[in-house]
């Protein structure tokens, strides 16, 4: 492709082997590599072979361009290309890009079919089957399918597509996605067998810490529609209906969290008529996200025999997925596989650190277990695709036969996100930290952004609003995030509150639960509905993400403002019966999680003190108004920015004025004249500086107070869940890069590198996730603290987007040096094209080299303040370090 030609055409949509969209997909392309901008473009379309052209559009926009034609109809195929203009010049036409419209909701003729169940526990997977007679002259065929549950589709015994765990995790009361596949090569003239393998999945299976079931319904169902086009242009359609049957198969138990049991000796169940339209379901939509797939395989690092006879398999990496087993032993041999993250001092698998317990109740043991019974047939393979696990280790037991270690493989399974960044530097510890954090996010990107792939697997809003800026550097998470945000909107309560995790298995919107209701609407969690779409706009230029989330953002912010006006914390009521003037904008009178998971203190006996479990009521009632008001300011100010982008000038002015009132209220209540926060914690200073709550004349003093607290902690961080991601950024940007690097390089607990020294391959939930004696606590794959690696990209490498830029139209390269690091390199596949940055310190000189893509301009800053500007192309400069 010529450097003068637009390239990398895309639509904002997902799909398995080809992009599939709804009726009005936004269009994006990258400018010619030598162009800094465009002032117009032409578009050429071939829709079902018919050509249409859109000419001479005067616009600089080339990202998320609105669909310029009438809405697409079901199943239309589209080829399109673009030619850009600049100053009277026209580029050559781009290459063609192809996609298809899905089968839109109004055109589904298929019925919902459900298996006849016999109440067996644990619940099995069911095989739903039908047949279709076809002619020999098949030209093309598309299969459209979906389910309430997790399903696989088969045509003549061959599995359809590469997507796993379809149709994915959504708020099933409002949203359901379908999948499309080209099955032309799987069909034949004559009778064709169609099958759906259906299990509980997210819809009806165990969900969350307490393993709740039947969250979205009590009856699973599936829907399938096959469209076949013959050589003469005529079509045949086959659908799920009353002619289909259901039976039990070899999967005798299937639960997404607990595991899968396959018995290859189980007799095929009797075929029974299916139940037709026994469920109600939302309209069918098409996901903007890439699918979950088997992304890679890991062979065991070691397989050892434990004293009790079990094999302990170590894959060397904590991840999400399952095991494929090719040696099943002779007929009747039973193999039991338990999965976990940790080994006890004897070398045996332990999962007790993942048990869940409510105060005064017995613990719920954490179990991830797959089982298989062999039929003895040659070539038989066990792959449990109706469950998924978080694990590094597996304990394998088999009765009546030995085990071939070479037959065991880990399948790494998660959303197939496109990587967009690389990073490396002269310090191996930081390189390893980068990989560990990246693995942690991968393990928690299984269709939705989860907190952990083990104990809960919930789409916690707080976790993702913290990590989204880092995720958007590492991977293309635009469609992935927009899919999840739709669930956040679906679950939003009528009063505007955003629930703690989405999809909401509690279904608080329709089922009142006083306890859950009482802890819903927290600052830092609900604010995800404002902050995540803004990240998508800043990173990708995705204005559609702002527009579709605007009503939900506004409802959340208005609820928070109303709560600040009308509810007060008891401590302020005690201070003054009547609210002080500024208290109208202090958000303190409702529940907040607050600065969750600050490093725990130790009791006299050395044990860790849990501030929540030791006194739940005191923690619940504590004044967290500093956190609430800070996030209220940030979200109101961001909402003003969103309104401005969307052309809502009145809303922008009103929310900007309100944000200033909230900022002044925070300063009045939580900051003194010497720049000290009332809370006096590291977290409070980080938040105050990161959110720009501190007046300019006090920022230096506030930063000094933060440094003093770090010094008092012997160079350790004491920040928690909400503020740790911003700690190093704040230190470096406030004139203390030496302190930032000192904290980063810290190796005693709490520290990131300390986790690695104790064997972490993913980020831990607790800083002391594995104690010195080898005891594990809480989750060993909780990705939020891994957001620290954004600092490696923005400060160590020095690549960050310029203030006010969106979609990386403008960026800054300004490495923050440290004597322990002599070089760094990295890339970022931005919406404009790939940015490459490299720097090296030699002989008291710093050499910086960058590649600037078309559509971008760059500013390069050396440590002495020398600044250079450049457009598309290569930049190299060697400069003395003063």
> Is the Cα torsion angle 746, 751, 753, 758 positive or negative in sign?
positive
Q: Is the preceding omega at residue 167 within 30 degrees of 0, hence cis?
A: yes
Residue 371 backbone phi and psi in degrees, to 5: -135, 150
Could you tell me if 335 and 329 are in contact, meaning their C-beta atoms sit under 8 angstroms apart?
Answer: yes
Could you tell me if 213 and 203 are in contact, meaning their C-beta atoms sit under 8 angstroms apart?
Answer: no
Cβ burial, residue 120 (10 Å; 0-12/13-18/19+): exposed
Query: How many CB atoms neighbour CB 406 within 10 A?
Result: 11
Could you tell me if 369 and 258 are in contact, meaning their C-beta atoms sit under 8 angstroms apart?
Answer: yes
Q: Provide the annotated active-site residues.
A: 456, 765
User: Looking up tokens 């047949």, which residue turns up?
Assistant: 131
Query: How many CB atoms neighbour CB 695 within 10 A?
Result: 13
The Cα–Cα gap between 812 and 460 comes to 32
The Cα–Cα gap between 786 and 771 comes to 19
Closest CA to 751 of 599, 608, 528, 866: 599
Q: DSSP H helical segments within 671-788, as ranges?
A: 682-690, 699-712, 724-733, 737-744, 752-757
Packing angle, helices 478-491 and 461-474, rounded to 10: 160
Q: Which two tokens stand for residue 592?
A: 């907040």
The Cα–Cα gap between 555 and 653 comes to 17
Could you tell me if 841 and 425 are in contact, meaning their C-beta atoms sit under 8 angstroms apart?
Answer: no
Distance of CA 547 to CAs 25, 174, 485, 499, 554, Å? Answer: 14, 19, 12, 21, 11
Q: Which residues contact 726 (CB under 8 A, 6 or more apart)?
A: 686, 687, 690
The Cα–Cα gap between 868 and 859 comes to 6
User: Alpha carbon 191 to chain centroid distance?
Assistant: 42
The Cα–Cα gap between 375 and 220 comes to 29
DSSP state letters, 474-542: HB--HHHHHHHHHHHHHH--TTSPPPSBSS-TT-TTTS--HHHHHT-S-TTTTTHHHHHHHHHHHHH--
């Amino acid at each position: 492709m010529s450097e003068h030609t637009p390239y990398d055409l895309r639509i904002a949509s997902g799909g398995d082997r080809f992009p599939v969209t709804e009726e009005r997909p936004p269009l994006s392309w990258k400018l010619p590599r030598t162009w800094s901008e465009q002032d117009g473009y032409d578009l050429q379309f071939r829709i079902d072979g018919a050509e249409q052209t859109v000419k001479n559009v005067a616009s600089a926009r080339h990202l998320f361009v609105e669909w310029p034609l009438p809405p697409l109809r079901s199943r239309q195929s589209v080829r399109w290309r673009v030619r850009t203009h600049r100053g009277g010049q026209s580029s050559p036409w781009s290459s063609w890009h192809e996609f298809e419209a899905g089968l839109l909701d109004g055109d589904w003729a298929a019925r919902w079919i459900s298996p006849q169940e016999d109440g067996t526990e644990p619940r099995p997977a069911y095989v739903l089957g039908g047949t279709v007679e076809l002619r020999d002259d098949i030209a093309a065929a598309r299969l459209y399918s979906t389910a309430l549950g997790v399903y696989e589709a088969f045509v003549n015994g061959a599995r359809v597509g590469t997507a796993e765990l379809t149709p994915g995790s959504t708020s099933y009361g409002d949203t359901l996605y379908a999948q499309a596949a080209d099955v032309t090569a799987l069909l034949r003239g004559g009778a064709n067998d169609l099958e759906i393998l259906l299990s509980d999945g997210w819809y009806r299976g165990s969900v969350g810490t307490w393993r709740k079931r039947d969250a979205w319904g009590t009856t699973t169902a599936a829907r399938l529609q096959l469209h076949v086009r013959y050589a003469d242009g005529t079509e045949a359609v086959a659908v799920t209906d009353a002619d289909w049957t259901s039976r039990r198969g070899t999967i005798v138990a299937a639960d997404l969290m607990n595991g899968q049991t396959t018995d290859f000796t189980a007799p095929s169940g009797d075929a029974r008529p299916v139940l037709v339209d026994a469920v109600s379901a939302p309209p069918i939509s098409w996901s903007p996200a890439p699918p979950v797939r088997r992304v890679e395989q890991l062979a065991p690092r070691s397989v050892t025999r434990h004293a009790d006879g079990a094999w302990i398999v170590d894959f060397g990496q904590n991840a999400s997925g399952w095991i494929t087993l090719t040696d099943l032993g002779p007929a009747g041999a039973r193999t039991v596989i338990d999965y976990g993250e940790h080994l006890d001092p004897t070398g045996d698998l332990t999962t007790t650190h993942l048990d869940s317990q409510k105060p005064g109740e017995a613990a719920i043991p954490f179990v991830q277990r797959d089982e298989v019974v062999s039929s003895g047939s040659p070539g038989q393979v066990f792959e449990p695709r109706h469950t998924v696990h978080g694990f590094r280790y597996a304990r394998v037991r088999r009765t009546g036969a030995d085990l071939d270690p070479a037959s065991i493989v880990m399948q790494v399974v998660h959303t197939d996100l496109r990587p967009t960044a690389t990073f490396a530097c002269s310090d191996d510890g930081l390189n390893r930290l980068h990989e560990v954090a990246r693995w942690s996010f991968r393990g928690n990107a299984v269709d939705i952004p989860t907190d952990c792939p083990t104990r809960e697997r919930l789409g916690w809003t707080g976790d993702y609003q913290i990590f989204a800026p880092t995720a958007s550097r590492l991977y293309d998470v635009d469609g992935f995030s927009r899919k999840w945000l739709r669930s956040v909107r679906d679950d939003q309560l009528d009063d505007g509150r955003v629930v703690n995790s989405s999809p909401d298995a509690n279904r608080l919107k329709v089922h009142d639960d006083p306890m859950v209701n009482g802890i819903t609407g927290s600052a830092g969690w609900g604010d995800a509905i404002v902050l995540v779409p803004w990240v998508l706009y800043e990173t990708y230029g995705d204005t559609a993400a702002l527009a579709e989330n605007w009503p939900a953002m506004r409802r959340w912010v208005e609820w928070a403002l109303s709560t600040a006006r009308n509810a007060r914390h008891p401590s302020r009521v005690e201070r003054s019966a009547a609210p002080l003037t500024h208290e109208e904008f202090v958000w303190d009178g409702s529940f907040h999680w607050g600065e969750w998971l600050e490093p725990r203190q130790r009791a006299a006996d050395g044990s860790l003190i849990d501030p929540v479990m030791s006194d739940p009521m005191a923690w619940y009632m504590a004044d967290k108004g500093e956190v609430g008001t800070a996030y209220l300011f940030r979200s109101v100010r961001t909402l003003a920015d969103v309104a401005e982008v969307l052309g809502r000038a009145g809303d922008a002015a009103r929310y900007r004025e309100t944000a200033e009132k909230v900022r002044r209220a925070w300063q009045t209540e939580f900051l003194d004249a010497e720049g000290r926060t009332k809370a006096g914690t590291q977290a409070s200073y980080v938040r105050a500086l990161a959110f720009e709550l501190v007046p300019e004349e006090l920022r230096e003093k506030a930063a000094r107070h933060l440094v003093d607290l770090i010094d008092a902690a012997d160079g350790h961080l004491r920040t928690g869940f909400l503020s740790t991601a911003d700690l190093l950024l704040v230190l470096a940007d406030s004139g203390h890069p030496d302190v930032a690097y000192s904290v980063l390089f810290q190796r005693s607990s709490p520290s990131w590198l300390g986790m690695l020294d104790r064997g972490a391959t993913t980020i831990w939930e607790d800083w002391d996730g594995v104690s010195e004696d080898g005891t594990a606590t809480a989750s060993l794959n909780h990705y939020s603290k891994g957001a620290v690696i954004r600092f490696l990209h923005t400060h160590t490498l020095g690549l960050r987007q310029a203030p006010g830029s969106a979609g990386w139209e403008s960026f800054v390269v300004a490495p923050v040096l440290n004597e322990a690091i002599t070089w760094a390199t990295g890339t970022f596949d931005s919406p404009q094209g790939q940015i490459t940055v490299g720097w090296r310190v030699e002989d008291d000189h710093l050499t910086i080299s960058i590649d600037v893509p078309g559509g971008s301009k760059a500013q390069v800053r050396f440590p002495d303040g020398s600044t250079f500007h450049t457009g598309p192309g290569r930049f190299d400069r060697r400069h003395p370090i003063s």
